[in-house]
A = this chain, B = another copy of it.
Amino acid sequence: MESFGVRTESRNCLVDITAKVRSAVAGAGVRSGIAFIYVPHTTAAVTVNESYDPDVGKDIEDTLSELVPANAGYAHSEGNADAHVKATLVGACAQVPVEDGDLMLGRWQGVFFCEFDGPRTRRVLVKVLKSAE
């Protein structure tokens, strides 16, 4: 199991972690399989989306905040219920195929850490399972 830290700079933000995930996958030493990128937090998530234009991440962040407003009479009293809901909509684990020891991302794809209750220092776990082939 590989892992790395992510420092987030605002309450909501998407951080491109593709390079860190690539290093973790290289460290795992698996030629062919699936990489699992796991977030052990409940107010953050991970997604695969376009990494070329940073505006895409901004639009994802803003649309999620419109769908799940910060203060909407939630039951959870810690003031971050919206972050928990967003975490479930996006998900705590992303999967990317691995070939020749590297992520087999599509041309425009990158991996993003999704912060919904920052700024914080977060942790990301990366595990690579090997194909039988």
Contacts and interface: CB of A to CB of B under 8 A. Distances in A.
Interface residues of A, number: 60
A56 B33 contact: no
A52 to B, nearest CB: 9
17 contacts: A1-B97, A33-B129, A34-B36, A38-B95, A38-B96, A38-B97, A40-B105, A41-B109, A53-B76, A53-B77, A55-B77, A56-B76, A60-B85, A60-B88, A67-B67, A67-B68, A91-B91
Interface string A73-100: 0111110010011011111111111010
B42 A106 contact: yes
Contacts of A120: none
A106 to B, nearest CB: 3
Interface of A: 1, 30, 32-34, 36, 38-42, 47-50, 53, 55-56, 58-60, 62-64, 67-68, 72, 74-78, 81, 84-85, 87-97, 99, 104-109, 125, 127-132
B38 A55 contact: no
A50 B27 CA distance: 30
Contacts of A99: 1
A30 B127 CA distance: 15
